Structure 1
């Protein structure tokens, strides 16, 4: 089957929602759908995913089977054995996701990656990173996830869990993190942790509010909200610069729910990055918003396409080979 006729199934799995899409060779989404991630045991959660996949495939003319499948999942995961144990999907612990999906869709390549990796790969392929060969992608939401694309290929690491920027320690005397460490980027920059810290400082202490409300108050000039975003931005910048000097990159793309705060987040991030990035090869480090609404899905599909083309020979959208 030619590239023009073939399609790949991209799947994006998180604790809040699951999404699936049929994606063409040039990164175009032909059909997509999403559901809330259900509570329940392992088989109940997978049954919902199976229904989602069937529905998306049915939305494409002819209902052709995909040539490959790419999956982005919340971690941690065991890429070698195709197992996932998402922190926020209690029913899945060492769940054989790759084998179960392959049994569902047919004997095609099924590739698994961390959702942050897929976000970075999607932005690299068709989004804000499509003019560069190396980038760091960051998702700032209920947690802080990340992924690296280096010389046109995702850097997955030996276990498949590379680039966990959210758990880079930026404050040795910092707050406890859910991972068991202290002072991680995520403890300062994730939406829920920023809200909790703001409440401890007296911001809307008795209200049921989220990071979107905190961002709106910061944009309106609330001093506590602005200070909390500055703290989060400093932690993000420290993680960004640490990664940049390690990997030697100049392009950073940030997405996720908290990134929708816009200048409230990006202005202090850029200010702190400029302050912290002093070595000559990172002084031109740029930080910009994500361009795609479905970067994780597109990046997951790209994992599938890469499994079909191990020489990475097809042309990415618009500007470069790879």
Structure 2
């Protein structure tokens, strides 16, 4: 990282962890990383206290003098117009005034809020697998499912910052109720939580104490039929959601990141197969699906990228 370039203090807030880093405004490289577990089941002030700890650690670095703005990426939905967050998987935050509270901690610095799916999209379009593409959907498939859009070469967050929030479109008309208030949402079928729950309900049991989607993926990689079926169902739901989105906005590429995407061909193999059944119109048949490149850095790089774009740089 150049010793002279301006920096963005980026914070990535998810259902399991709150991460922070200083990000180069020119090259997007990360330094001074830190993280805290998200106390997602605790009151909202406890969650904000973890955010404050992350920012305090970053502010203690000598490089803080070169920080020009703060970028916040949060699980959604978010209200970018009012600076509020209501993450489905953080129950203590409902219309929580995150931007106003963070401004109190960093007086004089602009604070930009972005949904985590849009942040990941900004990152992958700036430095990752969507770079050079004018029309892309980028998705996070992890504890939850989020997404964002690049349309005609530009990040498209929408008026409130939630455009592309594919995790809460319905792909099962008679599906189970979702915590968001909907029914049959993609997140309820394709998230890591959903995959693990589906496998367990069908009788799968881990060899040890790990009953996560990562363990299900490992079992699927070894040919376990129940684990394979759980991933196949998730892939089918993803294919339905992706094909519907592509039909609406004519995508060139879909980039998928997050913990579930790290299962590799256990997910991408059936996903490409199911896309053959759902993406059948002539203008979506050539849709390319590829894994994200930035891994765990995407949320932080994307929060910074969105803040930089908001400044018109």
TM-score when normalising by structure 1: 0.89
Q: What SS does the corresponding residue of 1:280 show, helix, strand or coil?
A: coil
- Which residue is equivalent to 1:198? 199
CA contact (8 A) 1:109 1:308 kept: no
- Which residue is equivalent to 2:108? 107
Structure 1 position 82 matched with structure 2 position 95: no
Residues 1-322 of structure 1: matches in 2 within 5 Å?
5-24=5-24, 25-38=26-39, 40-59=42-61, 61-204=62-205, 208=209, 209-293=211-295, 294-309=297-312, 312=313
Taking the aligned partners of 1:166 and 1:97, their CA distance within structure 2 comes to 22
Q: CA deviation at 1:243?
A: 0.6
CA contact (8 A) 1:136 1:148 kept: yes
CA contact (8 A) 1:68 1:307 kept: no
Unpaired runs of 5+ residues, structure 1, are: 313-322
The number of aligned residues is: 308
Deviation string, structure 1 residues 167-222 (Cα, Å, up to 9, x no partner): 22222223333323332222221122222222222222997511111111111111
CA contact (8 A) 2:18 2:50 kept: no
Could you say if the C-alpha distance between residues 265 and 104 of structure 1 is closer, same or farther in structure 2, counting changes exceeding 3 Å? same
Q: CA deviation at 1:62?
A: 4.3
Q: CA deviation at 1:107?
A: 1.9
Taking the aligned partners of 1:44 and 1:210, their CA distance within structure 2 comes to 25
CA contact (8 A) 1:22 1:57 kept: no
Q: What SS does the corresponding residue of 1:67 show, helix, strand or coil?
A: strand
Q: What SS does the corresponding residue of 2:283 show, helix, strand or coil?
A: helix
Unpaired runs of 5+ residues, structure 2, are: none
Q: CA deviation at 1:52?
A: 1.3
Q: CA deviation at 1:21?
A: 1.3
Q: Which runs of 4+ in 1 moved over 6 A?
A: none
Q: CA deviation at 1:132?
A: 1.2
TM-score when normalising by structure 2: 0.91
CA RMSD, Structure 1 to Structure 2 (Å):
2.2
